[in-house]
Amino acid sequence: MNLTLPKKQASKKVDSDSPSQARPIRRVLFSWLFTWDIYLILLVAGFLRLFALNTSEFDADQATIFSMAREAVQHGLLPIVSIRSSIGIEHSPAAIYPLMIPAVISADPLWATVMIGLFNTIAVVLTYFFTRRYYGRFAALITALLYAAATKPLNYARFLWQQNMLAPLALLFIFALFWGVVERRKGWFFPALLLIGISYQLHETSTLLAIPLLAAVVLAPGTVRWRDLALGIASLLLIFSPYILWEFSSNFADLFIILKVAKLPAHFDADAIYSYRFFLSPNGFNSYYQLPASPPVPGFGRAGNRGGTGVLDWTKCITSYPFS
């Protein structure tokens, strides 16, 4: 049996592997430029997340996390921890690394806050892409606009905090799961593991993402390859290596704190039910969680002043954490 193709067929076979295959992709990307939905979503999400950011929340956590990024840039340091959590353990340093980019540009934390707003604007756009791919254009438009204008997500998209970077990572993680479970394609497990690792470093509550990950493995076991598992484990070891160094240097102090807290009794209340109100309206906030009214501290309330005095004043009020 002659397995060689005729010359004409062979030439067509070669042509099919040529750059002409990229034309449909270019066509799709070019078509997005004429989709008015995206411009509407960008306008609404971007305006609500970037307008008047100099009036956004700026407290001790915000000052500390930006000062760590700024000092890492100024002194050539490698952060191995981030700010301290409410239970007393040190957060992983993943939040510091992206903040070093605006810290290079300026000592003004306003630009770091702008980066948080841009991250969350990207999350809204990713919501549109995801919903349109799997549920249609109309559902995508409604979903993205609801997310863009939802009160509580909007609140957390407008100030500097490590868990406020989670939204785009969560959307990419869901994309990876659907890539494997719904489309039955391989290669999703490695990025899913990597995204969980980065999300955990931003905030430990991201461990809950392991539940849908395990469900995806059960639903689509044939799409998980051994090399994806190996790459995922290697990537987790790489991104956690600075924090592992911290644990060794501190004699695993954080682990003992976690074990101690884990022995405390569980607590059940209705706060989660009340929190759903904040997705639609901020009016219930003061009813259940009244913040103390305190006079503004001179030089500390507006960190985004451009004259330089605001930045210089608030930097005197913060204490720098050691990096090693």
| The pLDDT value given to residue 240 | 94
- Distances in whole angstroms, Cα of residue 227 to Cα of each of 187, 188, 230, 235, 313: 9, 11, 5, 12, 52
Which range among 35-39, 172-176, 267-271 shows the weakest confidence by mean pLDDT? 267-271
Q: What would the mean pLDDT of 305-311 be, rounded to a whole number?
A: 32
292 found inside a domain: no
Structural domains counted in the chain: 1
273 found inside a domain: no
| The pLDDT value given to residue 34 | 76
Q: Which long-range contacts (C-beta less than 8 Å, at least 24 apart) are formed by 306-309?
A: 306/108
| The pLDDT value given to residue 11 | 42
96 found inside a domain: yes
Q: What would the mean pLDDT of 313-319 be, rounded to a whole number?
A: 36
296 found inside a domain: no
78 found inside a domain: yes
299 found inside a domain: no
Instruction: Tell the burial category of 186 from Cβ atoms under 10 Å away from its Cβ (0-12, 13-18, 19+).
Output: middle
Q: What would the mean pLDDT of 166-181 be, rounded to a whole number?
A: 96
Percent of the chain scoring above 70 in pLDDT = 77
105 found inside a domain: yes
pLDDT tens for 257-281 read 888 888 888 777 777 777 777 666 6
Structural domain span for residue 165: 26-264
- Distances in whole angstroms, Cα of residue 181 to Cα of each of 222, 223, 233: 10, 8, 21
91 found inside a domain: yes
pLDDT tens for 38-57 read 999 999 999 999 999 888 88
* Residue at 310: amino acid letter: G
| Eight-state DSSP code of residue 264 | S
**Token pair for residue 91?**
């957060």
Q: In which region does residue 251 sit, left (phi positive, over 0), alpha (psi from -120 to 50) or beta (all else)?
A: left
